[in-house]
Amino acid sequence: MASVTFDQVTRRFPSGDRPAVDSLDLEIEDGEFMVLLGPSGCGKSTCLRLLAGLEDVDAGSIHIGVRDVTHLPPRERDVAMVFQNYSLYPHLSAADNIGFPLRIARMPRQHARGRVRFAASVLDIERYLGRRPRSLSGGEQQRVATGRTLVRDPRVCLMDEPLSNLDARLRVETRGRIVRTQHHLGITTVYVTHDQTEAMAMGDRLAVLRDGVLQQVGRPREVFARPVNTFVGGFVGSPAMNLFRLRLSPDGVGLGGLDVPLPRSVLRAAAAEGAAEIVLGVRPERFDVLPSRDRTTPGLDLVVEAVEDTGAVVHLHTSAPAAARLGDVVVRLPGRPTHSKGEPVRVTVRSDAVHCFSAMTGMRYVYP
C-alpha cells in the first residue's frame, strides 16, 4: 500500500478553453478511502486517469509513496482500476475473470487459485465463481470486476463511478460491501462519483472539485458542517442548502419577516469588503415549523408548492412572497407529511443554524 501525492498537477486538453485539472494539490494517506466529488465535467475522472497513467501531466508531479510516477507508463505504477463499464470477458467464468491478471503475470496456477478464492471470499461471491457474466446480476458483475482489481494486490485502487449502472437498492448494498472490503484489505483507494450521498456514506475524506479546481478537502461531516464556499454548500447535502442573497442591516439580515442576527465577526468582515449584501445559507433540516396558531413568534411565511414524501422524512418545496425575493425554499421535516400543496407554512431558523458567505467572492466568513 502507499500514499498518493498530487503536486501542482495540471492537465490541459487542446479542445478546452480552461485546464481540465488546474494546479491540483492533494495528499492521500496510505490506506485511505478518498472520494473525488463534483459535477460532470469537473475533472475528477481526469485526475484518476492521470494517476493511472492514461493521461499525460502537463505540469506538476504525481507520487505514489516516495516514487515519482509522473511519466511512468501505466504498467509500472502498480495501480488497478475499476471502470463504470465492468468490461468482463463474456466467455470466461467469474473465477477466470478475477484471475485473468494473474494469468497474464504468469503466476503459478495453484497460487493464483488461492488468490482468487481469497478475493471471492472477501466480496462474498464464492458461489458465483463458476458462472459466466451473462448469468450474474449487475451487483454481482460489479463485485467480480472489483475482485479482478483486488486480486493483484495493487498499491492503489482506482474506481471511476462503478455503481452508476446499478439500481438504487443494489447501489446501497454494494457501496457498503466496497467500504467493508477496502477497510479489511487497507488498500489506498481513490473513488470518483458525482453522487454526494454516495460520497458522504463511503469516503474517509472528500475532495470536492469544480471546473478542475480543488474546492475543499475534509472528512464528510466537516465538509457538510463547514462548507468553504457557496458551491460546496450547495453541492454537498440532499436536498441542497438554501442560499439567499440578502441585504445587511446593522445587526444581521432580514429573511422575509424574520430578523436573523449575525456574529459581529461576520458583520466586520462584510464591512471590510464594503459589502452591502451577504449570502445566507440554511440547510432544509435547520428550519423549525411554527404551529399554525402561533402568530406572535416572528417567522417566514411560505406556501407549499409540492410535497416530497421519502418515507423517513418529508421535503416541502415552498415559495416565499414575491416581495421577499427569496425564490424557492426547501424545508425538511421528519416523519409523515402533515402539509398539502397550497397550504401556508410558517418557519423560523436559529441564528446558530445558518452559514454566512461573501456575496462578492462566495467564500465562507470564518467565525467561531
Asked whether the beta carbons of 2 and 156 are under 8 A apart, the reply is yes
Q: 200-222: per-residue pLDDT in tens?
A: 999 999 999 999 999 999 999 99
- pTM for the predicted model, two decimal places: 0.89
140 forms beta bridges with none
Q: Residue 115: pLDDT band by 50, 70, 90 thresholds?
A: confident
SS3 category, 143: helix
d(CA 77, CA 156): 9
Strand partners, 80: 157
pLDDT at position 179, please?
87
Q: What percent of the chain has pLDDT over 70?
A: 99
pLDDT digits (tens, 9 = 90+) for 160-184: 988 877 777 778 888 888 888 888 8
Q: CB count, 10 Å around CB of 216?
A: 22
Q: For residues 143 and 174, is the Cβ–Cβ distance under 8 A?
A: yes
**Can you give the pLDDT at residue 122?**
78
Q: What is the mean pLDDT of residues 78-103?
A: 87
User: Roughly how many angstroms between the first and final C-alpha of the chain, as a whole number?
Assistant: 38
pLDDT for residue 367 is more than 70: no
Map out the domains of the chain with their CATH numbers. Answer: 4-227 (3.40.50.300), 242-358 (2.40.50.140)
Helices (H), the chain: 44-52, 94-104, 109-123, 138-150, 168-185, 196-202, 220-225, 230-235, 264-273
pLDDT attached to residue 52? 94
Residue 294 has pLDDT above 90, yes or no: no
Query: Which residue has better confidence, 60 or 107?
Result: 60
pLDDT digits (tens, 9 = 90+) for 228-269: 999 999 999 989 999 999 999 999 999 988 899 999 999 999
* 186 Ramachandran zone, left/alpha/beta (phi>0; psi -120 to 50): left
Rounded mean pLDDT of the chain? 90
Three cell numbers, residue 67 = 516514487
**Nearest Cα to Cα of residue 248 among 211, 225, 222, 274:** 274
